[in-house]
Amino acid sequence: MIFLESFFEITVVRSPDAIAVETDKSKISYQTLNKYSNQIAQYLVACGVRPNDRICIFTKKDVSAYAAVLGILKSGACWVPLSLGQPEERLRNLVQKIEPKLIITDGSTLTEARAIRDADTVSLPILALNSDNSVAGQNIASESDISVYSSNKPEIEGRSMDDLAYIIFTSGSTGTPKGVMVLHRNIVQFIEICHDIFNIEEGCRFAHHSDLSFDPSLFDLFYGWSRTGTIIPFNKPSYRINPTLFLRELKVNVWFSVPSAITTIVESGGLKDPEVASVRHLILGGELLTGKLASAWYEAFPQSEIYNVYGTTETAIISHCYNVPKDIDPEKPVPVGTPLKGFRVRLMDGNTLVPPGGVGECVCYGSQISPGYWANEEETRAQFVPDPLDSRMPQTWYRTGDLLRLRPDGLYEFVDRADTQIKLRGHRVELGEIEIALESHPSVAEAAVIPLSHEDRPDGARLIAFIAGHVGATEDDLQEYLEDKLPRYMVPIDYVIEAIPLPRNRNGKVDRLALTKRAKEKVRL
């Protein structure tokens, strides 16, 4: 059987001395990283970890984080990334929900990890990698505690391709994040298909742009390692401000990100920098890709390849892919292409197929599809459904909530969301989750959040919060309140606070069209 970590281990045998990870401080070979991750796996097994146990990772992107991911998989367990910078209350709730056996952290995040752990009555063990004995104690182990273990991979009995590989939490419409469960068979299917759809050479330098809690990381790491690639973490704050610096200094060949990251490069003049030409493979997803952006990149770097991809965490990262041609029309959106091998896709209006050329919800079936959400049967039943056309069939289909259109040329294009979920700088955001957080404030009677995008910047949406508030509700107060409850990218930029109720439509629901019109009048993009 092939498990997710197998893609790394096969390369260890083939090219042990190749560089697996390069940071601004060090380089580490496949063989060395393999031994380090094996010691972590041995330590976890000695701690009683078994297949399908959950292990949380709360570290920055570096060698120890990658060793932790591999070590957890080698122990047979499931890794659960906790996003850095999120409010403590949110992280604490996730940890309580997931019931992990252990939290793996490092010296830079140990204080936050202890605060998350110590708020609960159960004192979870913590393994602090890249740290010395001074951190030991209070159920905390350090680097020296794993150094005594064998550097050979442990033998794990009873493993199955249906075991959990990882769980990633996404925004939830009920106000609670949803933990998407992904099995080894789901993600292994995707990595294997990548070898057929991406023409990426052996030994390339892969940018690790995403946070570990964002599923494109799985592509960067495991597809990259399967190609004897070197993983280059995108870490410095200066890189976020100007990604061109990252490309110039580290000369990566493969870049997987949201289109807005490329927009930043274009607007900063990066297309005039000859060092950026090192990027030979540009994989873009999570947001609408405009023909204008693709054309600008090709004009500057015609030797490169651009892939526009579409998918969800529930479909193991990518379900559709389009190799963007050099002569793409700059005045039109770029299609998301055709489904990957093994996917069946229907465009539905409820339980009815939409006519050819019509817009419908993307409902899909295939071996990459998640079994559902961790400890959330209600949401699982709502999104993972029997065959909508024949419930007698023993198949589970996933309702994405995304509206797509099938063009006459056989290519799919993304149109919109069918609900209040949006993509914001590549992150899935449920507007309902923000609204629930706002309405928990004592001065807020009711809230509605409206996304606004400039027509030339579909990737640059800003969130506008409309508040029906009591006396005392202020923008500064609400901003500070939300920053303690939500990730920063989910906190609205502008607030409209009034004492009157929010407008309603004929069905008695909040009139979002009216609010969108008012937002455009009040806020200049």
Cα 147 to Cα 439: distance, rounded to the nearest angstrom: 49
As for how many domains the chain has, the answer is: 2
Residue 72 corresponds to which tokens in the numbers above? 């957890």
> Residue 417 — very low, low, confident or very high, per pLDDT cuts 50/70/90?
confident
Q: How far apart are CA 496 and CA 494, in angstroms?
A: 7
R_g of the chain computed on alpha carbons: 23
In this structure, are strands 457-469 and 494-498 parallel, antiparallel, or unpaired?
parallel
Confidence bin at 472 (pLDDT 50/70/90): confident
DSSP state of 219: I
Q: How far apart are CA 327 and CA 291, in angstroms?
A: 10
Average pLDDT over residues 374-393: 93
Burial 410-439 (b: 16+ CB within 10 A, else e): eebbbbebbebbbbbbbbbbbbbbbbbbbe
How are the residues of the chain apportioned to helix, strand and coil, as percentages rounded to the nearest 5? 35, 30, 40
By residue range, what is the domain housing residue 20?
6-183
CA–CA distance, 425 with 418 (Å, rounded to integer): 19
Q: Which of 45-54, 180-189, 208-217, 443-452 has the lowest mean pLDDT?
A: 443-452
Order across the sheet with 19-22: list the strands. 27-29, 19-22, 230-233, 205-208, 254-257, 281-284, 305-310, 320-324, 338-339
Residue 89 has pLDDT above 50, yes or no: yes
Q: Considering Cα of 412, then 416, then 421, then 424, what sign does the dihedral take?
A: positive
pLDDT value for 478: 92
483-501: average pLDDT:
88
326 lies in a domain?
Answer: no
Q: What is the pLDDT of residue 134?
A: 67
User: In this structure, is residue 515 part of a structural domain?
Assistant: yes
Q: Which residue, 154, 183, 212, sits at the end of a domain?
A: 183
Per cent of the chain over pLDDT 90 is 62
Asked if residue 219 belongs to a domain, the reply is no
Please, which pLDDT band fits residue 52 given cuts at 50, 70 and 90?
very high
- pLDDT band (50, 70, 90) for residue 425: confident
Q: Tell me: pLDDT of 242 over 70.
A: yes
Confidence of residue 492 (pLDDT cuts 50, 70, 90): very high
Rounded Cα distance, 361 and 427, in Å: 20
- Within a domain: 396: no
Question: Could you tell me if 398 and 386 are in contact, meaning their C-beta atoms sit under 8 angstroms apart?
Answer: no
The CA–CA distances, whole Å, from 369 to 124, 201, 214, 316 equal: 31, 28, 17, 6
Q: Is residue 525 over pLDDT 70?
A: no
Among 289-298, 395-404, 498-507, 508-517, name the one with the lowest average pLDDT: 498-507
To the nearest whole number, what is the mean pLDDT of the chain?
A: 90
Q: In the predicted model, is pLDDT for residue 312 greater than 80?
A: yes
Residues 6+ apart with CB under 8 A from 383: 314, 372, 373, 398, 399, 401
What pLDDT was estimated at residue 286?
A: 85
The pLDDT, as a whole number, for residue 122 is 66
Q: Report residue 54's pLDDT band, with 50, 70 and 90 as the boundaries.
A: very high
Per-residue model confidence (pLDDT) at position 121: 60
Q: Which of 117, 151, 183 is the last residue of a domain?
A: 183
Mean pLDDT, rounded, for 488-504: 87
Give yes or no for residue 459 having a pLDDT over 60: no
Q: Which residues contact 338 (CB under 8 A, 6 or more apart)?
A: 320, 321, 322, 410, 411, 412
- pLDDT given at position 236: 86
Q: Which of 94-98, 162-166, 331-335 is the least confident region?
A: 331-335
**Residue 490 pLDDT exceeds 70:** yes
Residue 459 placed within a domain: yes
pLDDT value at position 524?
56
How many other C-beta atoms lie within 10 A of the C-beta of residue 499? 11
Taking only the tens place, the pLDDT of each residue in 323-347 is 999 999 988 889 999 999 999 999 9
CATH code: domain of residue 487: 3.30.300.30
Q: What is residue 230's DSSP assignment?
A: E
Give the pLDDT band of residue 432 (cuts 50, 70, 90).
Answer: confident
As a whole number, mean pLDDT of residues 156-160 equals 95
* Band of residue 420 on the pLDDT scale cut at 50, 70, 90: confident
Q: Identify whether the C-beta of residue 519 lies closer than 8 Å to the C-beta of residue 461.
A: no
The rounded distance, in Å, linking the Cα atoms of 510 and 501 is: 10
pLDDT of residue 288: 82
Residue 455 lies in a domain: yes
Domain boundary, last residue among 165, 183, 201 = 183
**Matching residue, tokens 């367990």:** 77
Bridge partners (DSSP) listed for residue 166: 79, 182
Check which CATH number belongs to the domain holding 171 and give it.
3.40.50.980
* β-pair partners for 371: none
Burial zone of 296 (CB within 10 Å; 0-12 exposed, 13-18 middle, 19+ buried): middle
- Is residue 244 in some structural domain? no
pLDDT of residue 418: 77
Residue 135 forms part of a structural domain: yes
